[in-house]
Amino acid sequence: MITKFLGRVFSGRMFKSAKPRIIPVAEHGISRERIGSCALRTCDALQEAGYSAFVVGGAVRDLILGRTPKDFDVATNATPEEVRGIFRRSRIIGRRFRIVHVLCGRDLVEVTTFRGPADVTDTSHQVEDEHGRLLRDNVWGDQSQDAARRDFTINALFYDPAREEVWDYHGGVADLKSKKLRIIGDPEQRYREDPVRMLRAARFAASCGLEMDAATRKPVKALAPLLANVPAARLFDEMLKLLLCGHAAECVKRLRKEGLHHGLLPMLDVILEQPMGERFVMLALKNTDTRIRTGKTISPAFLFAALLWHEVLAAWKKHQARGMPPVPALHEAMDGVLDQQTEQLAIPRRYSSDMKELWIMQPRFEQRAGQRPYRLLEQPRFRAAYDFLLLRCESGEVEKSLGDWWTSFQDADADARATMLVADSAPAKKRRKRRRRKPADAAPAAE
């Protein structure tokens, strides 16, 4: 009896559904034309079929902030099976959270069903681990319950394209205006349900220029170890969002400030304690942010290679100090660093192989004699490795003259390149002494 009572209390069933503040377009300024065409078609089709349908979450937040959303998500009271029946080009995915992907040409919209609270004694739809983390949660509810289930007030915003209204259940619009990040519900319970919310808090605070309120921040450091219970692949996805949000440098500072980086990049603490390592990492992150803001492409492999380079460098030097030849020592260092990192953050193999290529090519930039520079120019990943070299030069790890030489060499004509090779390598070149051939009648040397 007591258990069922507590279940009703914590599930919210003893409380009336909250009523939203409905904000007209004249106040929020989001016109229907600013919504992606696929999201509009999805909402229109669901509403025509008699269901509720709203653009929800980050897209609404970004539009209020005057930004262009990367994607649009839709929330509805239709179940996944009902959504699937409306859209021919759609598929149901997920186990932990069942959602529907609706395809419109090359565009994709994620459609979720309004979620509600579950009775704590009912494990048929909701499953938790021993730390309180939700392993599966497919309990349907109404819109107000769905808003209460979302992580932060700024993400619990619903936009109705038909009426051009924003439905705000938890004061998210006011929090955006006051630059405040506030979690919905009890912070400790919400972080235990999904520890990744702590990482999202750091990301939203940094990318949106917000400050966590006291209650939202208070339990973070104590609960940070719960990130160790999150699957490494999911941590990688969240870390990738953080590093590619256009505010990576500020996000990493936030992670360190809140004590959250240990479960993601355990070596980052050591690297950032080294002046040259910190300078190199921050330069890489700032360059990434600049490229993202100017619409240029980004290579996640390049970014992770930069984050882990100084740890590879340190391991490489240790192996050589033990007498290992340079090339095998570098391979040993790379494998060791990646193995240790993958335990916390599952970097996909397609990225780790590209990272190794970037690292392996770095010592080859020192070789500027003979045919070696020409062969290096022919490598498919030369440009990325060259950009990596420039970062090393800018951070002070290697001489700036090395980067200048390669900048000039790759743009020079054949004659100029030949001159550069002679001018650069002749003074330092050590010619091997030729061994004299012994006369045929010479006496054999004594053993």
Question: In 10 A of CB 354, how many CB atoms?
Answer: 19
Question: In 10 A of CB 46, how many CB atoms?
Answer: 24
3-state DSSP assignment of residue 20: coil
Confirm if 131 and 157 have CB atoms less than 8 A apart.
Answer: no
Catalytic residue among 62, 71, 335, 424: 71
Percent helix, strand, coil in the chain, to 5, is 55, 10, 35
3-state DSSP assignment of residue 320: helix
Query: Which parts of 31-82 are beta strand (E)?
Result: 53-56, 73-76
Rounded distance between C-alpha atoms, residue 353 and residue 347, angstroms: 10
Neighbouring residues of 318: CB distance < 8 A, sequence distance ≥ 6: 333
413 is a catalytic site residue: no
71 is a catalytic site residue: yes
Catalytic residue among 73, 137, 146, 354: 73
Tokens for 65, please give them. Answer: 């902030």
73 is a catalytic site residue: yes
Question: In 10 A of CB 311, how many CB atoms?
Answer: 23
Q: Which residue type does 266 have?
A: P
Neighbouring residues of 41: CB distance < 8 A, sequence distance ≥ 6: 104
Tokens for 184, please give them. Answer: 């919905």
Catalytic residue among 119, 146, 151, 194: 151
Cβ burial of 3 (10 Å; 0-12, 13-18, 19+) is exposed
Tokens for 141, please give them. Answer: 């509810």
H or E element in which residue 4 lies: helix 2-11
Return phi, psi of residue 127, to 5°: -130, 130
Confirm if 157 and 150 have CB atoms less than 8 A apart.
Answer: no
In the block, residue with structure tokens 């003074």: 427
Neighbouring residues of 138: CB distance < 8 A, sequence distance ≥ 6: 97, 98, 115, 125, 126
Residue of 67, 43, 399, 82 whose CA lies nearest to 207: 67
Rounded distance between C-alpha atoms, residue 302 and residue 311, angstroms: 15
Residue of 202, 313, 194 whose CA lies nearest to 251: 202
Q: Which residue type does 116 have?
A: G
Strands 107-113 and 157-160: unpaired
Q: What is the CA radius of gyration of the chain?
A: 28
Catalytic residues: 71, 73, 151
